[in-house]
DNA sequence: AGCGGAGTAGACAACGTTTACTGTCACAGC
DNA sequence: GCTGTGACAGTAAACGTTGTCTACTCCGCT
């Protein structure tokens, strides 16, 4: 593997001159000299050593993205957005699936720090856990200590996210849409209360209800894990209350997918008996049956903007926090209500 | 950001001694000295500089994974497998979505080389393109030139993949399952002929047919892009031939998803009129309606083994190529045939 | 008493860059 | 003819590690 020393030797110039050509520095190098260096580099298949460069500049053109799970379509889409933006700036992207496990997250942050990555983007939501928040704050401080940019794409304990999505507004709009269809008793699969996004979405749910002139029935709010199984469990929890409802709004699409599957297994027709709505509009949402009504969030754009903010932060430019719009998408899983189903009133 | 120099100073030892403690070298350091160094490191929040370390060792504990698109559930799952295995060895994972674009791939390989990553895992299949193959060969040689491990998880032009999946066997088994259900005229959405995996799967299709004592009707093989739209296009192409068929096997799940959607739009019932089968068993397959019969491939395991092979390669250990089994999973999209549908015979 | 060898610690030279800092040269201005 | 200046090129010192080599202290053995 050729180093710049060999390039310089072959070109018959000093290392400094070769470096100035290869690193596109603005230091003047005469045209013929530059050409000779370039030719030497080419013929040696020279690739600059980013480690040596990074050792000197204290920074390497790499950005770390901390997600819950890259297998979750939500995060895959966000990471792709980061990657696309990063690629145009010559940055590489390190993906870290933390599984929301504090130990894994800590370890990833440590590794990212050891690599002196230029930026770390936290794509997943923060957890409300004082101990963890303290620790995270130390980590973030540690990262910033060597000039790394830190960007959040979701609400968290330590201030506003640099870029985010109108979570509350999106859910409120969906509740409004359900109300317009005639629904009066709307249930909510809220996800885990400890997650800040889930809280924002719950707040949006309440707001939507209020906007539509409906009361919130706390018994129709179920807190279950943010995944497919959580959706099924949520349906069961809702039915167990015995309280009637005609629609289920969900805090994300995975919950809605689980709910759909569980309802189908129970023989409850969607949207005949109950309407179901999700949030995020992950790609699968169009392939479920019935097609899932949901709230579309520009996930890839979220990732792109996240990287852009990181770059701006690195450049020391001021940083207005951005909130991306969320848009209701009505497909086949929602319709006008027929009759309220309760735990005992499910059609066989 | 504290360096080892400061740690050494605070502990009152030489840099060398501090290094020996921090890098868990097997060089003897007395217990009290070690304790002092550790304490100093702790109090300074010292995190070793992986760049400096990598500059010296010519290698950084990072592995690059080149995929088609991280947003494709197939690749997300594989990357997750790599990530899980990598995490237990303290390695970070760089994700590169090349979109099968030679320019993007070249650029990613260049960046990965500049980072001196320890390994590069090619998760996606190779393309049959002599120019590209040449270039790729040069890249791979370049990577190996500095001691990087290169691992392929799919068939490609330059030899056997280090780990892969029984593509042909899986499809053949699915064709066998369809034949057992009574299907005699089975169509195949083969994906792009230029992709090596697609070829293997096509070969498996032919073999499955032959094993079942059926003739291959070349008109029932459609080559379309490896995605959802390709599935829809494939259905249209098949119908346009006017040749009757009772089942469609697909070279991957995305094609099957597209086919399912297109058939639903045409009012063709699945599996009433046509059976549909996919390949890969991505997570979505369980959420389609009807649930997609497919061939399950241990994708996460594929990623894990890929990393394990890279590690073995790095250690210089011999390397038996592995082929992971594929298993038929029958869900609701397949059933006994009723009558063959042709381009003109579709029920309204 | 002298010597060899553990056991431990420190000095120092890499690794491949970048970037002050120093030159050198030619040329313009006086 | 001298000096100042601008355009280049080279020297050398970092950046933070690791590993080799040398050095010092005890110890036990002859």
Least confident of A216-225, B134-143, B165-174: B134-143
Angle at A173 between CA A170 and CA A177, to 5 degrees: 140
Going from the C-alpha of B272 to that of each of B263, B333, B335, B340, the distances in angstroms are 11, 9, 7, 11
Residue bearing tokens 């030489």:
B14
Q: Average pLDDT, whole number, for chain B?
A: 94
Mean pLDDT score, B251-264: 96
pLDDT tens digits, A154-170: 999 998 999 999 999 99
Residues of B in contact with A142 (CB under 8 A): 1, 45, 47
To the nearest 10°, report the CA torsion of B128, B130, B133, B137. Answer: 150
With CB atoms and an 8 Å threshold, state whether B116 touches A49: yes
Least confident of A74-78, A255-259, B143-147: B143-147
Quote the pLDDT of residue A339: 63
Quote the pLDDT of residue B340: 52
Contact B36, B11 (CB under 8 A): yes
Query: Which is more confidently placed, A212 or B338?
Result: A212
Least confident of A128-132, B110-114, B258-262, B291-295: A128-132
Phi (first) and psi of residue B275, to 5 degrees: -90, 150
The nucleotide closest to A56 (CA, C1' atoms):
D15
With CB atoms and an 8 Å threshold, state whether B51 touches A60: yes
Going from the C-alpha of A306 to that of each of A85, A98, A322, the distances in angstroms are 9, 19, 9
Q: How far is B284 from chain A (nearest CA, A)?
A: 7
Whether B345 has a pLDDT exceeding 60, the answer reads no
Closest-approach residue (CA) in chain B for A67: B80
Whether A99 has a pLDDT exceeding 70, the answer reads yes
Whether B143 has a pLDDT exceeding 80, the answer reads yes
The nucleotide closest to B29 (CA, C1' atoms):
C8
The nucleotide closest to B15 (CA, C1' atoms):
C10
Half-sphere exposure of B27 (CA within 13 A, CB side): 11
Q: Average pLDDT, whole number, for chain A?
A: 94
On chain C, which bases lie within 7 A of the protein's CB atoms? 7-12, 14-20
Strands A327-329 and A294-296: antiparallel
Least confident of A252-266, B130-144, B286-300: B130-144
Quote the pLDDT of residue A125: 87
Mean pLDDT score, B112-135: 92
With CB atoms and an 8 Å threshold, state whether A93 touches B92: no
Percent pLDDT > 90 in chain B is 85
Quote the pLDDT of residue A340: 52
Quote the pLDDT of residue A289: 83
Does an H or E element contain B66, and which?
strand B60-67
CB of A16 within 7 Å of some strand C atom: yes
pLDDT tens digits, B63-99: 999 999 999 999 999 999 999 999 999 999 999 999 9
Q: How far is B254 from chain A (nearest CA, A)?
A: 11
Mean pLDDT score, A17-41: 96
Percent pLDDT > 90 in chain A is 85
pLDDT tens digits, B7-65: 999 999 999 999 999 999 999 999 999 999 999 999 999 999 999 999 999 999 999 99
Does an H or E element contain A122, and which?
strand A117-122
Going from the C-alpha of B341 to that of each of B205, B230, B292, B344, B345, the distances in angstroms are 20, 20, 20, 8, 5
Measure the CA–CA gap between B334 and B274, rounded to whole angstroms. Answer: 8
Contact A268, A311 (CB under 8 A): no
Contact A93, A62 (CB under 8 A): yes
With CB atoms and an 8 Å threshold, state whether B104 touches A83: no
Measure the CA–CA gap between A183 and A169, rounded to whole angstroms. Answer: 19
* Nucleic strand C contacts from chain B, 247-276, CB < 7 Å: none
Whether B230 has a pLDDT exceeding 70, the answer reads yes
Quote the pLDDT of residue A167: 97
CB of A58 within 7 Å of some strand D atom: yes
With CB atoms and an 8 Å threshold, state whether B49 touches A114: yes
* Nucleic strand C contacts from chain A, 49-108, CB < 7 Å: 49, 52-53, 55-57
- Residue B118, both tokens: 């320890």
Paired strand residues for B222: B189
Quote the pLDDT of residue A341: 56
Q: Out of A45, A60, A114, whose CB is closest to B47?
A: A114
Phi (first) and psi of residue A281, to 5 degrees: 55, 55
pTM: 0.94
Distance A14 CA to C22 C1' (A): 14
- Helix extents (H) in chain B: 4-11, 15-22, 31-44, 50-57, 73-88, 102-114, 130-145, 167-180, 196-211, 228-241, 253-266, 299-315
Measure the CA–CA gap between B272 and B19, rounded to whole angstroms. Answer: 70
CB of B4 within 7 Å of some strand D atom: yes
Measure the CA–CA gap between B329 and B332, rounded to whole angstroms. Answer: 10
Q: In which band, very low, low, confident or very high, does the pLDDT at B347 lie, cut at 50, 70 and 90?
A: very low
Q: How far is B88 from chain A (nearest CA, A)?
A: 10
With CB atoms and an 8 Å threshold, state whether B49 touches A55: yes
Whether A346 has a pLDDT exceeding 60, the answer reads no
- Indicate which of B41, B56, B69, B70 best probes the interface with A, i.e. most A CBs within 10 Å of its own CB: B70
């Amino acid at each position: 593997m050729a180093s710049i020393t060999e390039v310089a030797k072959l070109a018959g110039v000093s290392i400094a001159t070769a470096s100035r050509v290869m690193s596109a520095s603005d230091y003047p190098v005469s045209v013929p000299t530059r050409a000779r260096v370039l030719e030497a580099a080419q013929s040696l298949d020279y690739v600059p050593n980013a480690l040596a460069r990074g050792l000197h500049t204290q920074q390497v053109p790499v950005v770390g993205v901390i997600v819950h799970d890259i297998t979750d379509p939500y995060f895959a889409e966000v990471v792709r957005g980061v990657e696309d933006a990063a690629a145009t700036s010559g940055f590489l992207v390190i993906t870290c699936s933390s599984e929301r496990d504090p130990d894994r997250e800590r370890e990833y942050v440590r590794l990212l720090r050891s690599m002196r990555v230029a930026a770390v983007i936290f794509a997943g939501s923060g957890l409300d856990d004082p101990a963890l928040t303290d620790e995270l704050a130390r980590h973030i401080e540690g990262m910033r200590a060597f000039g790394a940019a830190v960007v959040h794409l979701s609400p968290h304990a330590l201030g506003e996210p640099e870029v985010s999505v109108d979570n509350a507004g999106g859910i409120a709009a969906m509740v409004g849409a359900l109300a317009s269809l005639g629904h009066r008793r709307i249930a909510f699969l809220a996800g885990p209360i400890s997650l800040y996004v889930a809280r924002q979405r719950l707040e949006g749910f309440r707001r939507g209800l209020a906007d539509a002139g409906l009361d919130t029935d706390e018994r129709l709010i179920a807190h279950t894990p943010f995944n497919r199984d959580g959706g099924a469990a949520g349906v069961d929890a809702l039915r167990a209350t015995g309280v009637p409802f005609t629609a289920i709004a969900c805090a994300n699409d995975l919950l809605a997918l689980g709910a759909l599957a569980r309802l189908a297994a129970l023989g409850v027709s969607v949207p005949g008996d109950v309407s179901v709505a999700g949030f995020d509009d992950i790609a699968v949402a169009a392939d479920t049956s019935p097609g899932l009504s949901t709230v579309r969030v520009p996930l890839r754009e979220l990732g792109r903007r996240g990287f852009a903010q990181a770059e701006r932060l690195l450049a020391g430019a001021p940083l207005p926090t951005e909130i991306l719009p969320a848009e209701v998408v009505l497909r086949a899983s929602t319709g006008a209500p027929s009759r309220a189903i309760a735990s005992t009133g499910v059609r066989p």
